Structure formats: C-alpha cells, structure tokens
Amino acid sequence: MFKKNKKEDIVSILNKNIIILKEISRARTRIKILQKTTSDSILNCKDEAILQAYGIYKERFKKPLFSDLISIFLNHVEEFEFHKYTSVPQAFKVQYRENESRFLKLGKINLKDHSLRVFTIACSKNKNNPDRFAEEIVLLALTHDFGKCNKVIDFVGSSAKETHNQVSAHYVSIIMRQLGYPEEFVELFYQTLYHHHSHQETIKNTFYIQALNECDYEARREEEKKIMKLEGKQKGAYRDF
C-alpha cells in the first residue's frame, strides 16, 4: 500500500512539473510576442491576401488612427498560421444541428480567409459613420475570431471553458494595454468581443456588436455562395468525366 502511494506521489510530482514547464514556456513565448509587438508595429507580411486586405484598409482610411494595431494583428494572422485553422471548429457543430451540411461547408473556410473577408467587408461598410467609429468596427471585425487559433489560446493562457470570443477579447486587450491605449478604449473592445455572441437583446443590439455581427453574417453568406459555386463546378466536371 505504501509503495503504491509513493508511486502515485511521484507521478503527481512529475505531472505538476510538466504543467509548470509548460507555463514557463508559454510565458516566455508571450513575452517575446509582446516585446516584438511594441518594437514592430508596421506590416511585415509576405502573404498576398493579407497585403491586399491591408491595401483596402489604407484606401478606405486616408488618415487611419489604428494602423499600428491593424498591422500587428495582420502580422499575427500570418505569424500564427491562421490558414491552418478552420473558421468553424468542431466545437461549433452543435450550433448547426438543424443544418449539418452548412457546418460542413463553412468548415472548409480557413480562419485566415474568414478573418480577412470580415475585415474587408467592414472596410466597405459604415461609410455613413464618422471614420473613427468605422475604423473601430474594422478593428473588431479583424480580431473577432482570433480566439479560434490555438496559438492565440496559448498566448492568452485560456482555460478550456472559455469560448473563442472570450479568448479574442483577452488577446486584444493584452495587446492594446501593451501599446498604452487608454483603459476606457481597451474596455470597449474587450466588452464588444467578449459579448458579441450574446443572445440578450440589450447586449446584441448595441451599436458595435450589431455592426460587427452584420459584417460577420455578410462574410458567411459570401462564403456559402462561394462554396456552392465551387461545388456546382465540381459536379459539372464529374458529369463531363
């Protein structure tokens, strides 16, 4: 009995040490990212799609207020390899119970493409709003799904219980605080991202959440049309064969 307990104690100690080492590694990675963030807030991507999206943003906002944040977040889209992640993770399948085929279709859209699509749609919308507010919506649109990327989850140190929008909120607020943005501004972004999937009428109908979700919904409609068009071409090719 004593030997068994001793063996369990050793296993427990080893597991704790592994957890500690993982946390140390995560903390070091986070420090490196934050150090790079403060020293490099210009776009340094090579990805053509990201560069094109940034060009649309610069064309829309002649005197941008948040180009440093936009550049950092676009850099992270490339650096964190968003193209390797689906924009609709398996955990979201429960939301598509009534239409599983829609889940399977949207699952083909990677996180990079979806993030850039929502971002560019936001750039083209809200032209009746002052540029300050319109650019804030663009920033929200770009970052709203960052919490679906495992590297962002690791960066934040999120628990398994947190949803992707909550992780996104933590991530964006950390970067903003690192750059010295006012707490009131940080809190606006945090609350909007954190609650943008809320079903409460008083929350989901607020200006920023409504504007963000409109861009997101429009992007999903475009993606579904794109997939249906592609599937139609494939069926035609099969018939020809």
DSSP string, 85-128: SBSS-GGGGGGGTT-HHHHHHHTTSBHHHHHHHHHHHHHHS-TT
Q: Taking the mean position of all CA atoms in its chain, how far away is CA 109?
A: 14
Residues in the chain: 241
Kindly state the average pLDDT of the residues 127-140. Answer: 92
At 91-114, the pLDDT tens digits run 655 554 555 567 677 888 999 999
Are 120 and 217 in contact, with CB atoms under 8 Å apart?
no
In DSSP terms, 110 is beta-bridged to: 86
* Residue 237 predicted with pLDDT over 50: no
Give me the pLDDT at residue 198, please. Answer: 84
Give me the pLDDT at residue 240, please. Answer: 33
User: Closest by alpha carbon to 110, among 55, 56, 49, 198?
Assistant: 49
At 63-81, the pLDDT tens digits run 999 999 999 999 999 999 9
- Residues 6 or more apart in contact with residue 197 via CB below 8 angstroms: 163, 165
* Residue 234 predicted with pLDDT over 60: no
Taking the CA of residue 61 as centre, how many other CA atoms within 13 Å lie in the half-sphere pointing to its CB? Answer: 25
* Residue 33 predicted with pLDDT over 90: no
Domain boundaries along the sequence of the chain:
1-39, 41-240
d(Cα 58, Cα 52) in Å, to the nearest integer?
10
Question: Which residue type does 213 have?
Answer: N
* Residue 148 predicted with pLDDT over 50: yes
- Tokens encoding 189: 């972004």
User: Closest by alpha carbon to 153, among 15, 22, 62, 46?
Assistant: 22
Which of 8-17, 32-41, 83-92, 164-173 comes out lowest in average pLDDT? Answer: 32-41
Summary mean pLDDT of the chain: 81
Question: Which residue type does 94 have?
Answer: V
Give me the pLDDT at residue 208, please. Answer: 93
* Residue 146 predicted with pLDDT over 90: yes
d(Cα 220, Cα 218) in Å, to the nearest integer?
5
Higher pLDDT, 147 or 93: 147
Give me the pLDDT at residue 38, please. Answer: 54
d(Cα 179, Cα 198) in Å, to the nearest integer?
28
d(Cα 75, Cα 51) in Å, to the nearest integer?
10
